[in-house]
Amino acid sequence: MEDLRVALFTGNYNYMRDGASLTLNRLVKYLESQNIPVLVFAPHVDEPAFEHNGTMIGTPSIPMLVPGRDEYRIAYSFPKSARKKLEEFKPTIVHVATPDGLGTGALKWARKNKIAAVTSYHTHFLSYASYYRLLQGPVTLFTKVFMKWFYKKFIHTYVPSQSMINELNDFGLKGEKKIWARGINLDLFNPSKRDMEWRRSVGFKDDDIVVTFVSRLVWEKELNTYIESVKRVQKTNQKVRALVVGDGPAQKEVEEKLPEAHFTGFVTGEELAKAYASSDVFLFPSHTETFGNVTLEAMASGLPCLVADAIGSKSLVEDGLNGKWAEKKNIKDFSEKLEWIISDEKRMKEMGIKSREMATEYDWDKINSGLVNNYREAIKFQKLKN
């Protein structure tokens, strides 16, 4: 069997905690547990957001010029010092997770040296950019042309869901796409973590209906739809309460718009699991997700989920079975669907039970084992090509 030595290139591995960086860290941990050598190349910062897994070679980056989002960075090059480390490592496969200067340099190196190159799609760039008006005129054309050029150069593109594959195909991204789903820690995210004492301690009554949002507090997550939908339903049902889990640049404005909500700030681990399980409904209107990690966490915690009828979340939620889909950006539709879910307590509980059952299909080791099999397939393809 071909020796597997993985070189992973990403625009964010530890400087900001988000779904993509955590997914890649879990992958590296899994690879090392299987005695598969892996070397990570990613932007270096003086104060990373968390302690990363594996060995990382730091590369230069600059802040992305996005209003209110100065935490984003761009890895603009693949420097000679990093290239030397790569050559010493002798990878048998190059995995590029971000279409930036670093990733483009890694792709060119792999093609020049006839090494298998694969990529993964973590961020739905066009959807995100629309919030910040980044894609205007010539920039729109350049971005589309670059993405089509970039992704077709790889043997495989690993995508979190079939709905995202369909979206990329419609956009015109060519090349073979394979599903690399996301997993869940079923012991951590579990209905058993429900804590009525915690609910009472933050001001919720036992018969309140706690509607929860979990994510970075940034407007592209459709925070306004969450806020206005909850406020509309509260006008006719005073038992509905808002729980907002996370922090971010939009937090102050959200607190002003939802003064009676409980804000946990940024939490992880047991505190996050307790917040999910102590809720009653998960409302996540974002339509920029490629998968929806937080939706899967809510499902594992036993919650009915109300999500946007869009790629990502709707690949997890089955409309009418473990939650509902609502038209993206449609506050009226989200409000009506939320009212429908909470109007029948028995149905709401049955949806929560179904969510947990569906979440058990997403085991991390099984998912990453499948990715390793795809790596080996890509290496065999490259050998035949050579």
Q: Are residues 166 and 238 in the same domain?
A: no
Q: Are residues 126 and 217 in the same domain?
A: no
How far is it, in rounded angstroms, from Cα 308 to Cα 323? 11
Q: Are residues 138 and 258 in the same domain?
A: no
| Closest of 41, 125, 45 to residue 77, by C-alpha | 41
- Asked if residue 236 is part of any domain, the answer here is yes
Strand ranges for 215-287 from DSSP E:
240-245, 262-265, 281-284
Q: Are residues 54 and 144 in the same domain?
A: yes
Q: Are residues 379 and 341 in the same domain?
A: no
Which of the residues in the chain have pLDDT under 70?
Answer: 1-2, 65-70, 124-140
Q: Are residues 121 and 68 in the same domain?
A: yes
Q: Are residues 317 and 376 in the same domain?
A: no
Q: Are residues 226 and 91 in the same domain?
A: no
Bridging pattern class, strands 262-265 and 240-245: parallel
**b/e string for 293-314 if b means 16 or more Cβ within 10 A?**
bbbbbbbbbbbbbbbbbbbbbb
How many domains does the chain divide into?
2
**Which one-letter amino acid corresponds to residue 208?**
D
Q: Are residues 135 and 170 in the same domain?
A: yes
**Is the CA virtual torsion 154, 159, 162, 163 positive or negative?**
negative
Q: Are residues 178 and 214 in the same domain?
A: no
Largest CA distance in the chain: 67
Q: Are residues 225 and 328 in the same domain?
A: yes
- Asked if residue 1 is part of any domain, the answer here is no
Q: What was the pLDDT predicted at 63?
A: 87
Q: What was the pLDDT predicted at 354?
A: 98
CATH number of the structural domain spanning residue 75: 3.40.50.2000
| Closest of 70, 75, 36, 73 to residue 58, by C-alpha | 75
Judge whether 106 and 9 are in contact, CB under 8 Å: yes
- Asked if residue 125 is part of any domain, the answer here is yes
Judge whether 376 and 2 are in contact, CB under 8 Å: yes
- Asked if residue 150 is part of any domain, the answer here is yes
Q: What was the pLDDT predicted at 162?
A: 86
Alpha-carbon torsion, ordered 303, 251, 234, 204, to 10 deg: 60
Q: Range of 148's domain?
A: 6-182+363-385
Q: Could you report the per-residue pLDDT of 130-167, keeping only the tens digit for each?
A: 545 554 555 567 778 898 999 999 999 999 988 889 88
Q: Are residues 26 and 147 in the same domain?
A: yes
- Asked if residue 55 is part of any domain, the answer here is yes
